Structure 1
Amino acid sequence: MCGRTACSLCPDDVQKASSFKDKISGNYQLPHWASNIKNKQQYRPSHNVAPTDVTPVLVSGSHFGGESERMLQPMMWGMIPVWHKGDYKSHGLSTNNCRLEGLLSSKLYSRPFNKGQRCVVICDGFYEWQTTKGKGNKQPYFIYMPQDEGVRVEDPATWSCDRSEKSGWKGPKLVHMAGLYDEWTSAEGEVIYSYSVITLDSNSTLSWLHHRMPAILEGEQIADWLDIERVPSEAALAVIQPTKLLPWHEVATLVNNCCNKDPQCNKPIKLEYVP
């Protein structure tokens, strides 16, 4: 399951963090932010991202008329069904996650998947609440990618946000989650892009915490998931594999309220264990 994330980089740094190696020149390219005059969605950095918030999403440039291999598009978390009428937030469906096992049979998700509307959701990390120890208050944890020595993903003071064409991004390593997106148009003609994060059964890395985990992509998996021309739908499913190395730390229950966007949300705390 994935019901809350953190995405605290400014738009320029999101762009730099998403740089990718060009196969011909060998240099790192920046994905451009897509522009659509009918789409008014704006990404705002947050340490506590919840469904219906807008976050940066990587997509194939071919979907948005771009010459670049990849593009960035602000999208709302929680897919709006294309058949929905009225207020886009009132469809009443839990669409922030899409189960991998039911993707092909889903009325909602099979359509964008078969149309090649695959995307990669970018974030600093994601929050999970422990559900494996019975009832009572659930302890939240922040989960992220392994970082270079001295870098702490929750502490901007340890970051270097430099980027070069030769070596790419030097800042914190971000989480890249496989997702699907769709396009919905309101009665007034406003275009809203929205997405769902694909989840699968947890492996030994996170099964102690929760029975589900997001589908995290690394390295060439990112390229394969986004390359809708080279990698057809059936082959794309084989790209998704459970990630084995994910560090984590406990965080304060401040994050439980999605209205709390405080930078303290993803800071580590020490739990007091009672024997």
Structure 2
Amino acid sequence: MCGRYAATKDPATLVKEFDAVDNTEGMARPDHNVAPTKNVVTVVERHPRDADGSVLEDEPAQRRLRVMRWGLVPFWAKDKSIGAKMINTRAETAASKPAFRKALKRHRCLVPADGWYEWQRLGEKKGKQPYFMTPRDGSSLAFAGIWETWRDPKEKDAPPLVTCSVLTVDAVGPLTDIHDRMPLVLSKDAWRQWLDPDLDDVAELLQPPPLQVVDQLELRPVSNKVNSVRNNGPELIERVDPAQQLDEEPALFDAPNSA
């Protein structure tokens, strides 16, 4: 976890929900089946820069919506393909792993989502049942994320690639019946601290969310059409009868690997 999620709200809605400025530049698209290496909308908070690109630390930081590629490519990577394996970052080791520790200290973001998918193992012969975890009130979830800027050492004139990763923690409450991991979902009162560009240490936030956060989620069984990234539409998040699906509709592909 998290290997797939849904993010369908337009930037204008997210601007209000996250109190941010829209810097998506027309690149944001509603997506019911967000998969690794796709472009995703994130929320960052940074100090403005002057004409020379220097950070104006005396100016207040501004919160912005920004499009990034899902799958972290560390600044020192020789090839961007490593990002496909780094869509998730385990919160327990993020501060010590060379690939993540700088980003955790300096480059944190929120990843807005309608909800995320997870696959429950039903037995050796029965396959897996996908679930969609989503707030009952229709509000957005905010996954804790980190981001990096990567420049291709072979193409020095190419524009930089900005990528991100979603932090994961041990699942809590009823989520443990579906999978042992979950994204680090931050409550609204933690957003400012997580995004604060002047704060180096966020260790206290790297914990599984409290049970009341999980209690606000609907754990909805959905169609195994979500297994294929070729399927994308509102039907993917509609409730299905798991028993009927096992009888009538075989899974298309295995669920993606998750951490």
Question: Which residue, 85, 92, 99 being the options, matches 2:90?
Answer: 99
Determine the C-alpha separation between the residues in 2 that align with 1:106 and 1:49: 26
Partners in 2 of 1:59 and 1:11 — Cα distance? Answer: 14
Per the TM alignment, residue 226 of structure 1 is displaced from its structure 2 partner at its CA by 0.7
The equivalent residue for 2:34 is 49
Q: Secondary structure at the match of 2:128?
A: coil
What secondary structure does 1:52 align onto? Answer: coil
What are the equivalent positions in structure 2 for 1:55-70 lying under 5 Å apart?
55-62=40-47, 69-70=62-63
For the residues of structure 1 that align with 2:166 and 2:83, how far apart are their CA atoms?
Answer: 17
Q: Aligned residue for 1:158?
A: none
Matched position secondary structure for 1:138: strand
Residues 140 and 10 of structure 1: CA distance in aligned 2, closer, same or farther (over 3 Å): same
Aligned pairs for 1:185-200 within 5 A: 185-186=151-152, 187=155, 188-200=157-169
Provide TM-score, normalisation by structure 1: 0.76
Change (3 A) 1:197 1:8: same
Matched, 1:121 2:111: yes
In structure 2, the CA distance between the partners of 1:210 and 1:18, relative to structure 1 (3 Å rule), is same
CA RMSD of aligned residues (A): 2.3
Q: 1:228, CA displacement in angstroms?
A: 2.8
Q: Which moved more, 1:122-131 or 1:10-19?
A: 10-19
In the alignment, the residues of structure 2 paired with residue 183 and residue 253 of structure 1 have an alpha-carbon distance, to the nearest angstrom, of: 35
**Structure 2: how far apart are the matches of 1:92 and 1:110?**
16
After TM superposition, give the deviation of residue 43 of structure 1 in Å.
2.3
Kept after mapping to 1: 8 A contact 2:120/2:178: yes
Amino acid at match of 1:237: A
Aligned with 2:190: secondary structure? helix
Counterpart of 2:99, as a letter, is L
Structure 2: stretches of 5+ with no match in the other structure: 50-54, 247-259
For the pair 1:33 / 2:4, whether they are aligned, the reply is no
Q: Which amino acid aligns with 2:118?
A: E
Structure 1 moving runs of 4+ over 4 Å: 63-68
- CA shift for structure 1 position 13: 2.1
Higher mean C-alpha displacement, 76-85 vs 250-259: 76-85
1:97/1:196 contact within 8 Å kept: yes
Report the Cα distance in structure 2 between the residues aligned to 1:107 and 1:179, rounded to whole angstroms. Answer: 16
Q: Is 1:209 the counterpart of 2:175 in the alignment?
A: no
- Say if 1:32 and 1:68, in contact at 8 Å, map to a contact too: no
Percent identity among equivalent residues?
Answer: 30
- Which of 160, 172, 194 matches 1:225? 194
In structure 2, relative to structure 1, the CA distance for the partners of 1:100 and 1:223 (3 Å cut) is same
Going from structure 1 to structure 2, the CA distance change for 1:191 and 1:94 (only over 3 Å counts) comes to same
User: Quick one: distance in 1 between partners of 2:185 and 2:177?
Assistant: 18
Number of positions where the alignment pairs a residue of Structure 1 with one of Structure 2: 228
SS at match of 1:102: coil
Give the CA deviation at 1:143: 0.3
For structure 1, the residue ranges without an aligned partner over 5 or more in a row are 20-30, 148-171
After superposition, the C-alpha distances for 1:234-274 in whole angstroms (9 at most, x for unaligned) are: xx121233232222211001100012112211111122279
CA distance in 1, matches of 2:141, 2:65: 15
Q: Would the aligned equivalents of 2:4 and 2:35 in 1 still touch at CA under 8 Å?
A: yes
Seen in structure 2, the aligned counterparts of structure 1 residues 92 and 144 have a Cα distance that, compared at 3 Å, is closer
Mapping of residues 109-258 of structure 1, within 5 Å: 109-114=100-105, 116-131=106-121, 133-135=122-124, 136-147=126-137, 172-186=138-152, 187=155, 188-229=157-198, 231-233=199-201, 236-243=202-209, 244=211, 245=215, 246-258=217-229
CA deviation after TM superposition for structure 1 residue 93, in Å = 5.3
How far residue 68 of structure 1 moved from its aligned partner, in angstroms, is 5.2
Distance in 2 separating the partners of 1:222 and 1:261: 29
